Chain A
Amino acid sequence: MVQLKRSVLGALAISTITSLAAHAGTLVINTDTSDPAPKKAFQTLINDFEKANPDIKVTWNVFDHEGYKTAIRNFLSADAPDLVNWYAGNRMAPFVKAGQFLDVSDVWKQNGLDKTLASAMPSMTIDGKQWGIPYTYYQWGIYYNKDVYKKYGVSVPKTWDEFLAGCAKFKAAGVDCTTTGTKALWPSAGWFDYLDLRTNGYQFHMDLTAGKVKWTDPRVKKVFDNWAQLIKPGYVTKNAAALDWQDAAPLLVQGKAATYLMGNFAVATFKQGGMKESSLGFFPFPTIDPKVARAEEAPTDTMHIPAKAKNVAEAKKFLAFLASAPEQTKINDILGQLPVNNQSTVGNDPFLQEGFKMLSSAHGLAQFFDRDAPAQMAKVGMEGFQEFMAHPERVDAILKRLEAARERIYH
């Protein structure tokens, strides 16, 4: 059925695109930027590009965010546009390995991007080549309800022990120390990533997600031991497995929970719920082992040229434009996120400023578990994390299962 759908879709796409190909200098862009802010950012970007290159006409197709994840496989092989958006790290590996993305190392070289986009270069590199252009990223960290912290006399923690001590106070008062909703699995991975980054450091985390370390390794076990310190005393919202991450947000807003480990995109949700900058605070994930250099999570969004693109020269022009400092400043202002180009300026938002400070002084940047690990491992792993958060006593069985998956998936 997939096959058939593809050929039908392909036929439709071919008919629309051949009718457009008559123009000289056309560019077809497919993106999943269907939410208001990303949509506006891309509209601005495309308008600017067309103004700078009046001879190129851009056709822009916006897909629904979830549908895009499956649609991209169809249109990349059946009838490719000239540009697509996607994610950095291992998330782009299946497309790179299947020969669906074009090597754009020349765009990097010609525009000196190895200097201006240096922080994201490792996550764009596979086999020594760059496969796309990063244009935005955002920090992860702990968002907290300032009023709740004040009410129970808890100060903002710097270390894990301080954090746990605060949790004990909240628990005594009947407030969830931290909340989350793991129905969609990935929020649980935020916890695992940070605990691993703080316990074992960046390199170990990268080796683990690259399949080079056994999940039954005592160092991995140590991460789960630290995690259990949070879960076993009941500091995390119960029944998180039945909640979407948005369902848990009201708990923080209403003061029923004190903290929420999330990406910066959650700020919009908290503010919609009625939180102001006076009540919503942010702090970096606390230190567990002071000897471990501080690394952070900063998922990066990217654009790529499909291998079967028809207007490669124009597409490369667009990528260079997207990589430029003024354009990254502009679109990230609209997105409310951080520009990757280190010559860009960061918006006035206090959370962005704080995030920028935190990320630019970090020892290393991880992409997030489901972008650093291959898709299959991400799925099995995050299911394990979700189970651990509900049943911490099953840790050994979970790790054994993840190790079996690792042996099967990476070979």
Chain B
Amino acid sequence: MSSPLSSSASPTAAVGRGAPRSHGYWRRNQRRFAPLIFVGPGALMFLIYVVIPIFRSMSISLYHWDGMGAMKWAGLGNYAELWSDPAFVVSLKNNVLWLVLYMLAVPAGLFIAIFLNQTVRGIRIYKSLFFFPFVISQVVVGLIFTWFYAPDFGLLFKLTKMLTGHGVAILADENYATYGIIFAGLWPQIAYCMILYLTGLNNVAPDQVEAARLDGAKGWRMLWYVILPQLRPATFIAVVVTVIGALRSFDLVSIMTQGGPYGATRVLSYYMFEQALSEYGYRMGYGAAIAVVLFAIMMIFISGFIWKMYRDETER
């Protein structure tokens, strides 16, 4: 709307009229901009620290690069090498092992939660004791279990020696070492799942339980048909955190075995670190290729989770 009148208006009037107009523009679009302003800083950080590095990693994985000198184009050479690299195959296998065995944390957490979900004197103390391993750092968990397994002075070593006559040093044996580390990892993970289920159990509708009881349900049938369906949100979160926890297992491997004995306990994240960043690793391109493979595996799960969440939201 440009009328000849407004253009002939005095400058002061134009300013006087301009100010409320811009104010009005903000007011009209406030609802549209506010979310953007709130999301903005976080999104920017996410872009700088997550999204851009992902694409950088992908591009680095196509080069031979020692991290210092000139980058040399490798095409898919790094990926081709991965498939014939026995260390990579071992790492991949161990990652699968982690994924499968780590899932034990979900039912184990559930049963501890059900066990603790009662009103006895001092139950809060028991609950916090069970939750304790999740509170302490993974580094400490790793150290505790390293000593527990240690040859000569370790508790487990002494126990097996007493029972069978010769001690088992879990972390020195290529066949047991990975299981030993996963077991150590399960300790805090079970506590995490337990706390998720404990909060879930608080929200179980008592009237439904009452009704089921009147209909004669009890024990396993009660758990399976009445309680568990109500715990679905808790189960979902427990599975998500456990899958992610299994895939990013790095700290325990690094502390307990450093990938040893002779590379038997390496997982993808640790192998990537070794190749690209550790004392003897000068292969940024190869490390990046491992990271991309790990990312692809994670994406399978993460997209599954996101798809499920999206479906749940839209159904509502």
Which residues of chain A have a CB within 8 Å of any CB of chain B? Answer: 1-4, 66, 69-70, 73, 76-77, 94-95, 97-100, 182-185, 238-243, 247, 251, 370, 375-376, 378-379, 383-384, 386-387, 390, 401
Which residues of chain B have a CB within 8 Å of any CB of chain A? Answer: 48-49, 52-53, 56-57, 60, 66-69, 86, 149-152, 169-172, 174, 257-258, 260-263, 274, 276-284
Q: Contact between A2 and B257 (Cβ–Cβ < 8 Å)?
A: no
30 residue pairs A–B, Cβ–Cβ below 8 Å: A4-B48, A4-B53, A4-B56, A66-B279, A69-B278, A69-B279, A70-B278, A70-B279, A98-B68, A100-B68, A238-B151, A238-B172, A240-B172, A241-B262, A242-B172, A242-B261, A243-B151, A247-B150, A375-B279, A375-B280, A375-B281, A376-B282, A379-B281, A383-B260, A383-B262, A386-B260, A386-B261, A390-B172, A390-B174, A401-B86
Partner of A98, one of B69, B257, B260, B281: B69
Cα distance, A409 to B262, chains bound together (Å) = 19
Q: What's the least CB distance linking B31 to chain A, in Å?
A: 35
Q: Contact between A94 and B68 (Cβ–Cβ < 8 Å)?
A: yes
Partner of B171, one of A1, A242, A376: A242
Q: Contact between A1 and B262 (Cβ–Cβ < 8 Å)?
A: no
Q: Contact between A383 and B263 (Cβ–Cβ < 8 Å)?
A: yes
Q: Contact between A370 and B278 (Cβ–Cβ < 8 Å)?
A: no
Q: Contact between A239 and B169 (Cβ–Cβ < 8 Å)?
A: yes
Chain B residue numbers with a CB within 8 Å of A94 are 66, 68, 282
Q: Contact between B67 and A2 (Cβ–Cβ < 8 Å)?
A: yes
CB-nearest residue of chain A relative to B86? A401
With A384-B262, A390-B262: A379-B274 Cβ-Cβ less than 8 Å: yes
Q: Contact between B53 and A390 (Cβ–Cβ < 8 Å)?
A: no
Q: What's the least CB distance linking B71 to chain A, in Å?
A: 11
Q: Contact between A242 and B169 (Cβ–Cβ < 8 Å)?
A: yes
Cα distance, A185 to B67, chains bound together (Å) = 24
CB-nearest residue of chain B relative to A188? B262
Cα distance, A66 to B280, chains bound together (Å) = 12
Chain A residue numbers with a CB within 8 Å of B284 are 2
CB-nearest residue of chain B relative to A388? B262
Q: Contact between A370 and B56 (Cβ–Cβ < 8 Å)?
A: no
Q: Contact between B67 and A73 (Cβ–Cβ < 8 Å)?
A: yes
Chain B residue numbers with a CB within 8 Å of A247 are 150
Chain A residue numbers with a CB within 8 Å of B261 are 241-242, 386-387, 390
Q: What's the least CB distance linking B86 to chain A, in Å?
A: 8
Chain A residue numbers with a CB within 8 Å of B69 are 97-99
Partner of B280, one of A3, A4, A98, A378: A378
Q: Contact between B53 and A242 (Cβ–Cβ < 8 Å)?
A: no
Q: Contact between B66 and A185 (Cβ–Cβ < 8 Å)?
A: no
Q: What's the least CB distance linking B181 to chain A, in Å?
A: 12
Partner of A184, one of B52, B56, B67, B258: B258
Cα distance, A357 to B265, chains bound together (Å) = 43
Cα distance, A239 to B261, chains bound together (Å) = 10
Q: Contact between A183 and B66 (Cβ–Cβ < 8 Å)?
A: no
With A238-B169, A378-B280: A3-B56 Cβ-Cβ less than 8 Å: yes
Interface centre among A70, A239, A386, A401 (most CB of B within 10 A): A239
Q: What's the least CB distance linking B153 to chain A, in Å?
A: 9
Cα distance, A280 to B246, chains bound together (Å) = 47
CB-nearest residue of chain B relative to A243? B151
Q: Contact between A370 and B172 (Cβ–Cβ < 8 Å)?
A: no
Q: What's the least CB distance linking B67 to chain A, in Å?
A: 5
CB-nearest residue of chain A relative to B177? A242
Q: What's the least CB distance linking A142 to chain B, in Å?
A: 22
Chain B residue numbers with a CB within 8 Å of A376 are 280, 282-283
Q: What's the least CB distance linking A399 to chain B, in Å?
A: 14
CB-nearest residue of chain B relative to A377? B280
Cα distance, A70 to B280, chains bound together (Å) = 10
Cα distance, A387 to B280, chains bound together (Å) = 18
Q: Contact between A183 and B257 (Cβ–Cβ < 8 Å)?
A: yes
Cα distance, A378 to B274, chains bound together (Å) = 13
Cα distance, A104 to B60, chains bound together (Å) = 33
CB-nearest residue of chain B relative to A186? B279
Partner of A183, one of B258, B279, B280, B283: B258
Chain B residue numbers with a CB within 8 Å of A73 are 67-68
Cα distance, A69 to B86, chains bound together (Å) = 26
**Cβ-closest 9 pairs across A and B:** A98-B69, A242-B172, A239-B169, A239-B172, A239-B151, A241-B261, A387-B262, A379-B280, A98-B68
Cα distance, A2 to B288, chains bound together (Å) = 10
CB-nearest residue of chain A relative to B154? A242
Chain B residue numbers with a CB within 8 Å of A383 are 260, 262-263
Q: What's the least CB distance linking A407 to chain B, in Å?
A: 13
